[in-house]
Amino acid sequence: MLIQDIIRRKRDAEVLDADAIHTFMRGVTDGSIGDAQIGAFAMAVMLNGMTRDEAIALTEATRDSGQVLRWDDLYLDGPVLDKHSTGGVGDLVSLVLGPWIAACGGHVPMISGRGLGHTGGTLDKLEAIPGYDVTPSDARFRQLVKDVGVAIIGQTGTLAPADKRLYGVRDVTATVESLPLIVASILGKKLACGLDTLVMDVKVGNGAFMPTAEASRELADAIVAIGSGAGTPTSVLLTDMNQPLADCAGNALEVHEALRLLQGGGCSTRLYQVTHALATEMLLQSGLASDAEDAETRLDRALASGEALERFSRMVHGLGGPSDLAERPAHYLAPAPFTTDVVAPRAGTVNAIDTRALGLGVVELGGGRRNAGDAIDHRVGLSHIAALGQRVDAGQPLLRLHAASRADAEAVTRHLSAAFTLGEEGSVAPALPIHATLRQEDLS
């Protein structure tokens, strides 16, 4: 089958069969297809879309382009499951969720990424911990998944290699926004981990990856249908990102907050609510809990007993970090040299937050990357971020800024202050943390 014929057919809005799609993706993987042909194919998909069956075939071809992890030889005593988020600000859910699920009997081989644009990356947070190795050997990774129940690492070159090449071309050909290509990229990597079940967290709001609520819902529907169609039961929670999920953003600061939750603090926060909802869905979908009440009991017990925190500590130590991080976080997580408060210019109620602007503020402080090779300052970030609906007086802090220097702090203060819209009390009702839960049976 000629590659140019596959491209022509998709250019002309014809439906490709699974063999054609797998042939194309094999060429992407082995290098027999050039970047020009990859770009032409991506643009044809961008303009003409894909049917559900085509998108499933593309996802399966992405998954199968490299190693697909198998766990049957380890004789695990529970299901293999994972969660993935489209990213946000103050979204440290993975740091808490993985160990929490492990403490409930699951096995979580979590392949995570770095920060992208205004969103923080799980790997960047974990690398705030001295010695933590995000690229362990396959043997070490598998052993931790078996013995500890969770290991959070970076993507290896053997998992879904076609996605890396295809994404690189999409990034420079204005085809990143294509829904079938987005879904195949997300799910191809996750399903290569050999999961029994997957729960996705798709963000909605001004700090979300997708530009509108409608686009987020469309992505969620596609992920449920295509993930399940590719053989892995998949559900999605639509969660709010019109304000940071935690009241902090920045790598070391978010590790501190994860430890606080795992130690039983912060159970009234939006972060806890979203993490608990995702954990509940994972337990239900995998069969680890019989119903919502059973899931609640198991999660409460895992947190109150200290088992979830112990799993986190064992994971950190197993990947090269300190064994006593939970007991001495201040010893290992260095603070920023300079802190200052960004204060409200007048009294009012926080009626809107430009979440993206706060995330970009962290990047400007050095806590994220402007370019792929940039080094990250794990110490910097924001804390004590005012919440939607919160009343503030003139001169009262809207957030605390953690910077490498006074000059760095002054460079972003005005932008961060402008991210908050103050108005009359009660004029805007903050959205619920969970907008909706979508499962395969919910799709028409």
Question: 142, 170, 203, 314: which one is catalytic?
Answer: 170
Give the SS3 label for residue 437: strand
E strands, 212-278, where? 234-240
**Which tens digits make up the pLDDT trace of 213-245?**
999 999 999 999 999 999 999 999 999 999 999
Cβ burial, residue 281 (10 Å; 0-12/13-18/19+): buried
Residue 118 pLDDT? 80
Q: Tell me how far apart the alpha carbons of residues 177 and 174 are, in angstroms, rounded to a whole number.
A: 8
DSSP string, 230-259: TTS-EEEEEEE-SS-SSS-BSHHHHHHHHH
Q: Is 85 a catalytic residue?
A: yes
Q: What does the block give as tokens for 396? A: 């009262």
- Note if 122 is an active site residue: yes
CB 37 within 8 A of CB 4: yes
User: Which stretches of 366-439 are DSSP H helices?
Assistant: 406-418
pLDDT tens profile 341-394: 999 999 999 999 999 999 999 999 999 887 767 889 999 999 999 999 999 999
Active-site residue, 140 included: no
Choose, from 10, 63, 83, 298, the residue flagged as catalytic: 83
Compute and round to an integer the Cα radius of gyration of the chain: 22
- 82, 247, 354, 408: the active-site residue: 82
Considering the candidates 10, 84, 125, 314, report the single residue annotated as catalytic. Answer: 84
Q: Which of 112, 185, 235, 383 is catalytic?
A: 185
What is the CA 289 to chain-centroid distance, rounded? 24
Q: What is the pLDDT of residue 17?
A: 97
Active site residue: 59, 62, 65, 85, which one?
85
178 is catalytic: no
Return d(Cα 312, Cα 293) in angstroms, integer: 25
Write out residues in the chain with pLDDT < 50, as ranges: none
SS3 percent helix, strand, coil of the chain, rounded to 5, is 45, 15, 40
pLDDT of residue 114: 76
Confirm whether 83 is a catalytic residue.
yes
Length of the chain counted residue by residue: 444
Asked whether the whole model's pTM tops 0.75, one would answer: yes
As a whole number of angstroms, the distance between CA 33 and CA 319 comes to 37
- Cα angle 225, 229, 230 (rounded to 5 degrees) comes to 125
The total of other beta-carbon atoms located within 10 Å of residue 137's CB is 10
Question: Order of strands, edge to edge, in the sheet holding 420-423?
Answer: 391-392, 348-353, 420-423
User: Is residue 82 among the annotated active site residues?
Assistant: yes
Name the token pair of 327. Answer: 């007991």
Separation between Cα atoms, residue 263 and residue 249, nearest integer Å:
19
**Which of 380, 387, 389 is closest to 361 using CA atoms?**
380
In the residue annotation, 228 being an active-site residue is answered as: no
Clarify whether 10 is annotated catalytic.
no
- Residue in 324, 339, 306, 304 with CA at minimum distance from that of residue 409: 339
Angle between helices 307-318 and 292-304 (to 10 degrees): 70
Name residues whose C-beta falls within 8 Å of residue 53's C-beta, 6 or more positions apart in sequence: 15, 18, 229
Backbone phi, psi, residue 110, to 5°: -90, 110
Q: 327: which residues sit within 8 A by CB, 6+ positions away?
A: none
Query: Which amino acid makes up residue 357?
Result: A
Q: Rounded to an integer, what distance in angstroms lies between the CA atom of residue 192 and that of residue 170?
A: 21
- Give the max Cα distance, the chain: 69
Q: Which two tokens stand for residue 341?
A: 């408060």
Question: Where do the domains of the chain lie, and which CATH numbers do they carry?
Answer: 3-49 (1.20.970.10), 72-328+435-442 (3.40.1030.10), 334-423 (3.90.1170.30)
Q: Which of 114, 189, 311, 435 is catalytic?
A: 189
Task: Give the chain's end-to-end CA distance (angstroms, integer).
Answer: 35
